[in-house]
C-alpha cells in the first residue's frame, strides 16, 4: 500500500507493484515458454539425451512431412464445419428469428448456448455413442429404412473427418445464433420500416439492413470459431486419435504425439510455432476485414 | 413493425428445432447414464438406474478425479482472479511508462494457443520437478486465465466512474483502499463473471492436465473420463454416468448464472 511519503516522493513504482503478481505468473508460465518454444524449434531432441542444433530443418520438415501437411489440411476442413457452416446456419436462423419477437427467447438462448459450457471431452464421449456401429445414428437410419447408409462413422476413411467436424458444428451453431441475435436486436426498427416502404422483400431486407449491421458480430463469431477449429485437440483425442489411419489427425494432436510419443520434441515445437502463426495471421486478417466497415 | 401470426409460428418452429438438435445428444448421454448396465440388469425391469452414478463415483474413481478438479480449479481461480484484479486496476486507471507494450503482451496470451508453449513448458517443469504435481497442472492454467482476466478487469476499471476515484483520492484514500473498498465491491458482477469463466475453463481443460501429469497422479475429471473410455470398452452406462458427473458442476452453475456466462463469453471476445 503506498503511504503518503511514497506519494509525495513520486509514486511511479505503484502501477508496477500492482502488475507484478500477474506479470510473474504470466511471464514464467506463458511468455517464457513461448520464447523457449522458438528456441526448441531449432534443435533436434528426443526429450532425454543431448540436443543438436539443426537450424531451420524442423520447419522444412513441417512443410514436407506428409502427415503434418495432412494435419494442417484437416484443420482447414474443420474450419468449414466449426465456422463457415455455423455462421451460415446462424445468420439464417437469426435472420428469421429477428423478424418477430416471441416469448421464451431467454429459455431458448440458454439451451442454444449450452454446448459452450460442457467439457469437450463429455461432448466427444456423447457423440462417440451416437456414431458407434450399434449407436443411435445407425439405429435411427435402420428405423427409417435407410439401413444401407449405416456405417461405423468413426472408422471410415471418408466419413470420419466430416463426422468429427459436425460435432464442432453442433457446439458452435448455438453460440453463433446467440451472437447474431444480440447484434440484430440492436438494429433500430425504423431501418426495417424504411426498407419495407421501399418495397424490399425479406431477402433484400436481410442483405441491405441486417447483414451490414452485424458485421462486428460476424467478425467475433469467425474469430472464436476458427481459433477453436485450429486448436481442436480433446475432440480428436477422445473420438479418433487421428484415425482411421491418418484421416482425422490435426496439428494439435500431432504436436502431442511427436513431443510425447515419438520423441521429436524439436519438430513438435516447430509445428506449434507454425500453428500459432496461422492463428495470429487468420485472426488479424478477419479483424482487418471486419474493421473496414 | 407488424408481426404476422405466421412469422411468430415460424419462430417457434425454428427455435424448437434448434433446441432439439442441441438437447438430442445431451439426452442420449443422460438416458444412457440412467440406463441398465448390462442386458441381465435390463431384464430385471424398467427403472432409473441411479446406482450407475454411485458406481461411477467409486469404481470408476470419478469421485477422486472430481476432487482433483476442485483443488486445481480453486487454485487457478484464486490466483488468476486476484492477479487479474490487481493488473486490470493498474492498466485501467493508472498512467505509466510501457503500459501499452505490457498490455499488448497480455493480449498476446489470449490469442496464443496452448499448443504453442506446452511442450517446452513440460520439459522445463520436469527439470524443476513440478510435473505430476498440482502446481504443475494449475499454474500454467492460471497464467492463461490471467491473460484474459487482466483484459476483462481493465475493461471494468475503465468503465468505473473516475469521479468516484477522484473524490476518494481527495479524501486521502490510498490507491489500495480505493480498489479494495470502492471498486471491488461495486465491480462484483464483473468479478463474478470472471470467476465463473475461469472456473469453467479450468474445469473443462484437457490438454494441460494431460501433458503436465503424465503419470496420472493429478488426474482431473475430463482426463478421468477420457481414461475411463480408453480402459473399458464395455460399461457404457458407467461411462455415460461419469460424463454426466463431469459436466454437471459447470452446467448447474450455468443454469443459475447463465447471464454471466453468455455475456462474459460474448463481450470477452469483442476486443477493441
Residue of A nearest to B256 (CA): A110
Burial class for B239, CB neighbours closer than 10 Å (0-12, 13-18, 19+): buried
Let me know how many helices (H) and strands (E) chain A has, helices first.
Answer: 17, 2
Q: What is the pLDDT at residue B47?
A: 76
- Give CA separation, B272 vs A211, A218, A287, B85, B198, in Å: 21, 15, 10, 20, 21
More confident residue, B18 or B43: B18
Could you write out the three-class secondary structure of A44-100?
A: ECCCCCCCEECCCHHHHHHCCCHHHHHHHHHHHHHHHHHHHHHHHHHHHHHHHHCCC
Asked if this assembly's ipTM is beyond 0.90, the reply is yes
Tell me if A19 is assigned to some domain: no
- To the question of pTM greater than 0.90 for the whole model, the response is yes
Which stretch, A143-152, A197-206, B163-172, has highest mean pLDDT? A143-152
**pLDDT per position as a tens digit, B155-205:** 999 988 788 888 888 888 888 999 998 899 999 999 999 999 999 999 999
Over residues A37-49, mean pLDDT: 94
Placement of cell 468516484 in the chain:
B164
Tell me which chain B residues have a C-beta less than 8 angstroms from the C-beta of A85.
Answer: none
CATH code of A196's domain: 1.10.3720.10
Q: Return d(Cα B225, Cα A238) in angstroms, integer.
A: 9
Residues of B (184-243) whose Cβ lies below 8 Å from A:
200, 203-204, 206-207, 210-211, 214, 221-223, 225-226, 229, 236, 239-240, 243
Structural domains of chain A, count: 1
pLDDT value of position B2: 56
The answer, for B81 touching chain A at a CB cutoff of 8 Å, is no
Q: Is residue B271 predicted with pLDDT exceeding 60?
A: no
- Residue B230: the pLDDT is 80
**Per-residue confidence (pLDDT) for residue A8, from 0 to 100:** 42
Query: Which of B111, B120, B261 is closest, CB to CB, to A280?
Result: B111
**Would you call B177 and A1 a contact, using CB atoms and an 8 Å cutoff?**
yes
Contact status, residue B55 vs residue B214, Cβ threshold 8 Å:
no
The C-alpha atoms of residue A235 and residue B167 are separated, in whole angstroms, by: 52
Report which DSSP code applies to B217. S
CA distance linking residue A129 with residue A132, whole number of Å: 5
A 136-195: CB under 8 A from B: 136, 170, 173-175, 177-179, 182, 189, 192-193
Residue A1 is predicted with a pLDDT of 41
More confident residue, A98 or A80: A80
What's the rounded Cα separation, in Å, for the pair B13 and A116? 23
What is the percent of chain A where pLDDT is above 90? 74
For residue B3, the model assigns a pLDDT of 63
Task: Identify all chain A residues contacting B223, using CB atoms and an 8 Å cutoff.
Answer: 121
Task: Report yes or no on A270 lying in a domain.
Answer: yes
- Window 89-108 of B: residues touching A by CB (8 A cutoff) are 89-91, 94-97, 99, 102, 105-106
Cβ of B14 within 8 Å of Cβ of A120? The answer is: no
Helix B62-93 vs helix B99-111: crossing angle, to nearest 10: 150
Q: Which of A95-104, B76-85, B251-260 has the lowest mean pLDDT?
A: A95-104
pLDDT value at A238 more than 90: yes
Is A34 part of a structural domain of the chain? no
Q: Give the pLDDT confidence of B51-79 residue by residue, as tens digits.
A: 899 989 998 899 999 999 999 999 999 99
B64-220+248-267 maps to CATH 3.40.30.10: no
The mean pLDDT of chain A is 91
A-chain residues near B109 (CB < 8 A): 26, 30-31
Lowest mean pLDDT among A231-240, B185-194, B261-270: B261-270
Share of chain B above pLDDT 90, in %: 69
| Per-residue pLDDT at B44 | 62
> pLDDT confidence of A3, banded at 50, 70, 90?
very low
B45 pLDDT band (50/70/90 cuts)?
A: low
In a domain, residue A37? The reply is no
pLDDT band at B252 (very low <50, low <70, confident <90, very high): very high
3 state DSSP class of A43? strand
CA atoms lying within 13 Å on the CB side of residue B50: 0
Which of A224-228, B230-234, B239-243 bottoms out in mean pLDDT, i.e. has the lowest? B230-234
Three-class HEC string of B95-138: CCCCHHHHHHHHHHHHHCCHHHCHHHHHHHHHHCCCCCCHHHHH
Query: Given a cut of 90, is residue B41 above it in pLDDT?
Result: no
Residues of B in contact with A14 (CB under 8 A): 94, 175
- Look up cell 471418408; give the residue: A158
Averaged pLDDT of chain B: 91
pLDDT at residue A293, rounded to an integer: 54
A243 contacts on B by Cβ (under 8 Å): none
pLDDT surpasses 80 at A90: yes
Count of CB atoms situated within 10 Å of the CB of B102: 19
**Distance between CA A293 and CA B190 in Å, rounded?**
30
Exposure string of A220-255, with b = 16+ CB inside 10 Å and e = fewer, is: bbbbbbbbbbbbbbbbbbbbbebeeeebbbbbbbbb
Specify whether the CB–CB gap between A96 and A108 falls below 8 A.
no
Does residue A47 form part of some domain?
no
Contact A214, A228 (CB under 8 A): no
Higher pLDDT, B145 or A187: B145
CB pairs under 8 A between A and B: 287
Percent of chain B with pLDDT over 70: 94
Task: Name the residue ranges covered by the structural domains of chain B.
Answer: 64-220+248-267
Domain housing A250? 52-291
Amino acid at each position: 500500500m503506498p503511504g503518503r511519503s511514497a506519494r509525495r516522493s513520486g509514486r511511479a513504482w505503484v502501477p508496477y507493484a500492482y502488475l507484478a503478481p500477474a506479470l510473474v505468473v504470466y511471464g514464467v508460465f506463458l511468455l517464457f515458454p513461448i520464447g523457449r518454444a522458438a528456441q526448441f524449434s531449432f534443435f533436434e531432441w528426443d526429450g532425454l539425451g543431448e540436443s543438436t542444433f539443426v537450424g531451420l530443418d524442423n520447419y522444412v520438415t513441417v512443410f514436407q512431412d506428409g502427415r503434418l501437411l495432412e494435419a494442417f489440411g484437416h484443420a482447414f476442413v474443420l474450419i468449414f464445419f466449426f465456422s463457415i457452416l455455423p455462421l451460415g446456419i446462424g445468420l439464417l436462423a437469426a435472420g428469421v428469428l429477428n423478424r418477430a419477437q416471441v416469448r421464451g427467447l431467454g429459455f431458448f438462448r440458454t439451451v442454444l448456448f449450452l454446448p459452450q459450457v460442457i467439457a469437450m471431452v463429455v461432448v466427444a464421449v456423447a457423440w462417440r455413442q451416437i456414431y458407434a456401429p450399434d449407436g443411435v445414428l445407425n439405429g435411427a437410419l435402420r428405423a427409417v429404412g435407410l439401413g444401407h447408409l449405416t456405417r461405423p462413422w468413426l472408422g471410415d476413411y471418408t466419413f470420419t473427418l466430416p463426422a468429427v467436424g459436425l460435432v464442432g458444428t453442433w457446439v458452435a451453431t448455438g453460440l453463433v445464433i446467440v451472437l447474431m441475435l444480440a447484434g440484430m436486436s440492436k438494429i433500430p426498427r425504423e431501418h426495417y420500416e424504411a426498407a419495407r416502404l421501399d418495397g424490399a422483400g425479406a431477402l433484400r431486407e436481410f442483405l441491405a439492413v441486417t447483414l451490414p449491421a452485424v458485421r462486428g458480430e460476424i467478425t467475433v463469431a469467425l474469430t472464436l470459431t476458427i481459433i477453436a477449429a485450429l486448436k481442436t485437440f480433446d475432440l480428436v483425442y477422445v473420438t479418433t486419435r487421428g484415425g482411421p489411419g491418418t484421416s482425422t489427425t490435426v496439428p494439435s494432436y500431432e504436436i502431442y504425439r511427436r513431443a510425447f510419443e515419438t520423441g521429436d520434441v524439436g519438430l513438435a515445437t516447430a509445428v506449434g510455432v507454425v500453428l500459432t502463426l496461422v492463428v495470429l495471421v487468420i485472426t488479424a486478417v478477419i479483424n482487418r476485414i471486419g474493421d473496414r466497415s | 413493425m407488424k408481426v404476422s401470426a405466421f412469422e411468430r409460428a415460424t419462430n417457434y418452429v425454428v427455435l424448437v428445432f434448434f433446441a432439439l438438435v442441441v438437447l438430442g445428444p445431451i439426452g442420449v448421454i443422460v438416458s444412457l447414464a440412467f440406463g441398465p448396465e448390462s442386458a441381465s440388469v435390463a431384464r430385471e425391469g424398467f427403472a432409473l438406474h441411479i446406482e450407475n452414478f454411485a458406481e461411477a463415483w467409486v469404481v470408476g474413481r470419478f469421485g477422486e478425479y472430481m476432487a482433483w478438479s476442485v483443488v486445481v480449479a480453486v487454485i487457478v481461480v484464486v490466483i488468476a482472479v486476484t492477479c487479474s484484479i490487481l493488473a486490470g486496476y493498474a492498466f485501467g486507471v493508472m498512467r505509466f511508462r510501457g503500459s501499452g507494450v505490457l498490455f499488448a503482451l497480455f493480449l498476446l496470451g489470449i490469442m496464443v494457443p496452448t499448443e504453442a508453449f506446452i511442450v517446452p513448458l513440460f520439459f522445463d517443469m520436469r527439470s524443476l520437478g513440478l510435473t505430476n504435481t498440482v502446481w504443475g497442472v494449475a499454474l500454467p492454467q492460471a497464467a492463461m486465465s490471467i491473460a484474459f482476466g487482466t483484459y476483462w478487469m481493465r475493461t471494468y476499471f475503465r468503465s468505473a466512474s473516475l469521479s468516484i476515484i477522484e473524490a476518494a483520492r481527495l479524501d486521502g484514500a490510498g490507491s489500495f483502499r480505493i480498489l479494495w473498498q470502492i471498486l471491488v465491491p461495486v465491480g462484483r458482477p464483473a468479478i463474478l463473471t470472471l470467476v465463473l469463466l475461469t472456473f469453467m475453463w479450468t474445469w473443462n481443460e484437457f490438454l494441460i492436465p494431460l501433458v503436465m501429469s503424465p503419470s496420472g497422479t493429478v488426474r482431473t475429471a475430463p482426463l478421468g473420463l477420457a481414461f475411463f473410455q480408453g480402459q473399458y470398452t464395455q460399461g457404457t452406462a458407467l461411462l455415460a454416468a461419469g460424463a454426466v458427473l463431469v459436466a454437471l458442476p459447470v452446467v448447474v452453475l450455468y443454469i443459475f448464472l447463465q447471464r454471466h456466462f453468455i455475456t462474459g463469453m460474448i463481450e470477452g471476445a469483442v476486443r477493441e
